[in-house]
Amino acid sequence: MASTMDGLTTEQRDVIALVRDFVEREIIPVAHHLEYDDTYPEAIVAKMKELGFFGFAIDEQWGGAGLNMETYARVCEEIARGWMSITGVINTHFIVAFLLQQFGTDEQRQRFLPKMATGEYHAAFSMSEPNCGSDVQAIRTRAVRDNGEYVIDGTKMWVTNGERSTVVATLVKTDPSAKPAHKGMACILAEKRYPGLSASKHINKLGYKGVETTELVFDGNRQPEANLLGGVEGRGFQQMMAAIEVGRINVAARGVGVAQRAFELALAYAQERQTFGKPIAEHQAIQFKLADMATKIEAARLLTQKAARTKDRGERTDLESGMAKLFATETCMEVVNEAMRIHGGYGFSREFEIEQLYRDAPLLCIGEGTNEIQRIIIAKRLLEKARG
């Protein structure tokens, strides 16, 4: 299909337009109220399933739309612009779809992906634990093979969709004595239907309301060997790291979307609010803020699109996704802060949406690897490339 002036096909533009319209009609009018009450968006999620959103990043042979990573990133930007929490509902779902499509056995793809495409199955993704986050190799959750099953014990933390998910892609240790540690890891597609797996508590958060973030407890949970991703032990760390690149592109897109919404609100308010007999948008101090905000948002968007296109080509993307995640989320923090300042006292009030965006933005600098970790990854990759 022919590309349009912005490099997107007509089909891609239609999908993005569908999502934008959905956000305007179904999300923005109710998001502020749902966020304030920390209410799970049942009606929105049901409508997303009906419209096929849960199959966006799943190949057509499994009943999905087969969107590439660039279109997926743009879709996530649009959704985050409406309410960042909604991107959390589908992001981990798409990460698991990526894992299955890239590393799953034929049987695993046939068993999970068609039901994930319709939303009948809702997937979650779990690496972090109470005592480790970015240091993934320090996990303690153990899976022991026993009579055709894996017996899993341990606690996972910060699991988005931890309660409502059907299957959780879970990083475990199958060989705690392995050196280096990552060689003793595996990914288990842990299904909730087997006893001994439960969401033990909801985590109260500053922002990112409405989507559940839970602790997961594995207590003698027995999963069939058929749920070992790819059917081979020792590859879990590499599988999860490949998937986290997808997550970082998503988080970058979220940063662009949240920043875009904050900018739009600030731009509108600056034209309405008057001081000294004229709109504050006519004051040079405000104009400088708006110019810097718009410029950095566009730069963040371009970095995110570059990372997505690199992933689409099947290339290594730790550098590109790290840069996009770092710049887009730091830009988001800066833009939301400036938008609040443009709003003045009203930006500090819960009656205005800016206050919500101000609480959502910090998570993006932490999620899918802190920005400090991103800087380390970027620097190591740059040095590696310099050495040839």
Tokens at 56, concatenated: 């966006």
Tokens at 147, concatenated: 């009579």
DSSP assignment letter at 235: -
Distance CA 368, CA 348 (A): 28
Distance CA 260, CA 13 (A): 19
Distance CA 42, CA 50 (A): 12
Residue found under tokens 């991107």: 87
Determine how many CB atoms are found less than 10 A away from the CB of residue 171: 25
Determine how many CB atoms are found less than 10 A away from the CB of residue 74: 25
Catalytic residue among 70, 120, 368, 372: 368
Q: What are residue 19's DSSP bridge partners? A: none
CB 16 within 8 A of CB 71: yes
Q: What share of the chain is helix, strand, coil (3-state, %, to 5)?
A: 60, 15, 25
Cis before 114 (ω within 30): no
Give the number of C-alpha atoms closer than 13 A to the C-alpha of residue 284, restricted to the C-beta side.
0
Query: In terms of Cα–Cα distance, which of 96, 167, 171 is closest to 139?
Result: 171
DSSP H or E stretch at residue 45: helix 42-51
CB 190 within 8 A of CB 170: yes
Distance CA 94, CA 87 (A): 10
Tokens at 293, concatenated: 């905000």
Angle (nearest 5°) at CA 137 between 134 and 143:
120
Measure CA of the first residue to CA of the last residue in the chain; give whole Å: 38
Phi, psi torsion values for 12, nearest 5 degrees: -65, -45
Q: Respond yes or no: is residue 368 known to be catalytic.
A: yes
Distance CA 104, CA 83 (A): 32
Which residues are catalytic, by number? 368
